[in-house]
């Protein structure tokens, strides 16, 4: 018993050291792990298509190539449509800049009026009145103030406005370039995703057979096979469910934005619909695209209230009625675990952690449920 008591602190220390090492590894190699896990999820998503092509007598390598080619073609068409809309938005950028300047000026004026009224309420009236003794010195002060008065700028001409607009566009381009330069490693690693997906699809059977043959017992092989099947099923259900939900939200949002004649509704609708799926931050993120698109069109507050309330209704219906049936029924995670997982993975991987937290946690639960000795941990994560 004494030996067991002395071994317990050593086990706890080794466990904490292992957790610290894993955390540091995940944080230091976040770009690699995000890229690899994204490729794994896409491979799970495309695996049924590969199996279908193989039933048509296509070799696995050819079926994997066709599935990846289809994925790239869909992404290319989506990017082309987005680029066409962005070109029109770039032409309307001066209108948006002008509208934002008007809103900022109006907000500044309102703040100044509030400050003036607050000063009138707080400061007594007798302190605001000018003393009589100071009246003779007023002309001298006026002349001195006139000498120090700043020179008013010349009136704005179309040429000056064009120069200012070009300067703003140049500043925006520089800001975008600097922002993209900070993510050079991430963009470079993202270029490996199609190749990783292809190799995972074409070599998955060989890799799985090799790993299974290396295990000593039949029980271990069965547990590993069930774990892989469970992880693939959960990941596929999560991705497909979210995609279907995003499409439904996109169609509903785009239809409503088209009805109210919102500019660029073809892009604003899908962008708002898929941003609505971001855990916990979906509603405020979904409101940003339609509100920004409405700036040059609507000036009255009721129009923004209608757009915002309708977008919020779509979000609440999707997340409270459709999400439990399309996604929640297959993931089986309790809300506390989801919240903690989002916090942890966001601290480790930033915004990418928000998207990968739920599939990672659901995959761990599926793996725990497949191993008899780890099923108690799966019940902790479950709903």
Q: How confident is the model at residue 372, as a pLDDT?
A: 80
User: pLDDT tens-digit profile of 295-311?
Assistant: 877 777 788 888 889 88
User: pLDDT tens-digit profile of 20-51?
Assistant: 898 899 888 888 899 999 998 888 888 888 88
Cβ neighbours of residue 151 closer than 8 Å, sequence gap 6 or more: none
Residue 341: Cβ within 10 Å count: 22
How far apart are alpha carbons 41 and 37 in whole angstroms? 6
Pick the more confident residue, 129 or 282.
282
Q: How confident is the model at residue 127, as a pLDDT?
A: 57
Contact indicator for 326, 241 with CB cutoff of 8 Å: yes
Contact indicator for 67, 46 with CB cutoff of 8 Å: yes
Q: How confident is the model at residue 143, as a pLDDT?
A: 47
Pick the more confident residue, 374 or 72.
72
pLDDT bucket at 323, cuts 50 / 70 / 90: confident
Q: How confident is the model at residue 4, as a pLDDT?
A: 53
pLDDT bucket at 132, cuts 50 / 70 / 90: very low
Pick the more confident residue, 130 or 96.
96
Q: How confident is the model at residue 90, as a pLDDT?
A: 64
For the entire predicted model, the pTM comes to 0.69
Q: How confident is the model at residue 284, as a pLDDT?
A: 87
Q: How confident is the model at residue 318, as a pLDDT?
A: 84
pLDDT bucket at 134, cuts 50 / 70 / 90: very low
CA atoms within 13 A on the CB side of 34: 22
Structure tokens at 289: 């695209």
* Minimum mean pLDDT range among 194-208, 322-336, 340-354: 322-336
Would the pLDDT of 108 be above 80?
no
Pick the more confident residue, 189 or 55.
55
User: pLDDT tens-digit profile of 230-265?
Assistant: 888 888 888 888 888 888 998 999 899 899 888 888
How far apart are alpha carbons 350 and 27 in whole angstroms? 10
pLDDT bucket at 123, cuts 50 / 70 / 90: low
User: pLDDT tens-digit profile of 136-174?
Assistant: 554 554 544 454 545 555 555 555 555 555 565 556 556
Contact indicator for 46, 201 with CB cutoff of 8 Å: yes
In the predicted model, what is the mean pLDDT of the chain? Answer: 78
Would the pLDDT of 98 be above 80?
no
pLDDT bucket at 89, cuts 50 / 70 / 90: low
3-state secondary structure labels for all residues of the chain: CHHHHHHHHHHHHHHHHHHHHHHHHHHHCHHHHHHHHHHHHHHHHHHHHHHHHHHCCCCHHHHHHHHHHHHHHHHHHHHHHHHHHHHHHHHCHHHHHHHHHHHHHHHHHHHHHHHHHHHHHHCCHHHHCCCHHHCCCHHHHHHHHHHHCCCCCCCCCHHHHHHHHHHHHHHHHHHHHHHHHCCHHHHHHHCCHHHHHHHHHHHHHHHHHHHHHHCCCHHHHHHHHHHHHHHHHHHHHHHHHHHHHHHHHHHHHHHHHHHCCCCCHHHHHHHHHHHCCCCCCHHHHHHHHHHHHCCCCCCCHHHHHHHHHHHHHHHHHHHHHHHHHHHHHHHCCCHHHHHHHHHHHHHHHCHHHHHHHHHHHHHHHHHHHHCHHHHHHHHHHCC
């Amino acid at each position: 018993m004494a030996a067991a008591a002395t071994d317990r602190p050593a086990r706890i220390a080794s466990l904490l050291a292992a957790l610290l090492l894993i955390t540091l590894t995940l944080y230091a190699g976040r770009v690699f792990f995000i890229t690899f896990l994204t490729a794994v999820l896409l491979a799970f998503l495309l695996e049924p298509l590969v199996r279908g092509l193989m039933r048509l007598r296509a070799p696995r390598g050819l079926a994997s190539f066709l599935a990846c080619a289809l994925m790239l073609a869909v992404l290319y068409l989506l990017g082309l449509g987005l680029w066409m809309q962005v070109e029109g938005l770039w032409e309307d950028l001066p209108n948006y800049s002008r509208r934002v300047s008007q809103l900022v000026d109006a907000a500044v004026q309102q703040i100044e009026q509030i400050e003036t009224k607050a000063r009138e309420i707080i400061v007594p009236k007798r302190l605001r009145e000018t003393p009589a003794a100071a009246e003779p010195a007023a002309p001298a002060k006026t002349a001195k103030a006139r000498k120090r008065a700043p020179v008013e700028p010349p009136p704005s001409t179309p040429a000056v406005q064009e120069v200012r607009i070009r300067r703003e566009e140049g500043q925006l381009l520089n800001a975008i370039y600097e922002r993209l330069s900070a993510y050079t490693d991430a963009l470079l690693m993202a270029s490996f995703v199609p190749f990783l997906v292809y190799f995972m699809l074409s070599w998955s059977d060989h890799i799985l057979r090799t790993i299974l043959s290396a295990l000593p017992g039949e029980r271990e092989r069965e547990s590993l096979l069930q774990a892989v099947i469970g992880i693939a099923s959960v990941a596929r259900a999560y991705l497909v469910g979210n995609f279907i939900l995003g499409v439904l939200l996109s169609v509903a949002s785009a239809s409503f934005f088209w009805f109210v004649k919102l500019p660029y509704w073809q892009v604003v609708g899908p962008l708002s619909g898929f941003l609505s799926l971001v855990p916990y931050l979906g509603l405020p993120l979904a409101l940003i695209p339609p509100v920004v698109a409405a700036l040059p069109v609507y000036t009255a507050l009721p129009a923004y209230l209608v757009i915002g309330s309708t977008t919020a209704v779509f979000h609440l219906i999707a997340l409270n009625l459709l999400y439990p049936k399309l996604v929640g029924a297959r993931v089986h995670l309790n809300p506390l675990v989801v919240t903690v997982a989002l916090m942890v993975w966001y601290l480790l991987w930033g915004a990418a952690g928000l998207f990968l937290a739920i599939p990672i946690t659901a995959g761990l639960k599926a793996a725990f449920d497949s191993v008899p000795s780890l099923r108690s941990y799966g019940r902790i994560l479950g709903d």
